[in-house]
Amino acid sequence: MSSMPARTRLVAGTRLVRVSDRDGRVRIGAVRPGEEQLTVYAAEDMLAVLERGELPEAVDRVPLVDPETCELAEPWRLLVPVVAPETWAAGVTYERSRAARVHESRVLDVYDLVYEDERPELFLKDAAGRRTVGPGEPIAARGDASWTVPEAELAVVLGARGPLALTIGNDVSSRDIEGANPLYLPQAKIYGRACALGHALLVPENWEARFEIECRILDRHGEPLFAEQTSTDSMRRSIAELIAFLRRDNPVPAGSVLLTGTGLVPPDDVSLAPGQWVEIRISGIGALRNPVGASTGPTDPEED
The answer to whether 216 and 142 are in contact (CB under 8 A) is no
Tens digit of each residue's pLDDT (9 = 90 or more) over 131-140: 999 999 999 9
**69/301: higher pLDDT:** 69
Compute the distance between CA of residue 276 and CA of residue 75 in angstroms, rounded to an integer. 26
186's enclosing H/E stretch is helix 185-189
Whole-prediction pTM: 0.91
Determine whether 244 is exposed, middle or buried from the number of CB atoms within 10 Å of its CB (0-12, 13-18, 19+).
Answer: exposed
Tens digit of each residue's pLDDT (9 = 90 or more) over 188-236: 999 999 999 999 999 999 998 999 999 999 999 999 999 999 999 999 9
Compute the distance between CA of residue 21 and CA of residue 288 in angstroms, rounded to an integer. 20
Compute the distance between CA of residue 142 and CA of residue 192 in angstroms, rounded to an integer. 8
Residue among 198, 146, 206, 200 at smallest CA distance from 173: 146
Handedness of CA 58, 61, 62, 67 (dihedral sign): positive
Domains of the chain: 8-79 (no CATH), 86-295 (3.90.850.10)
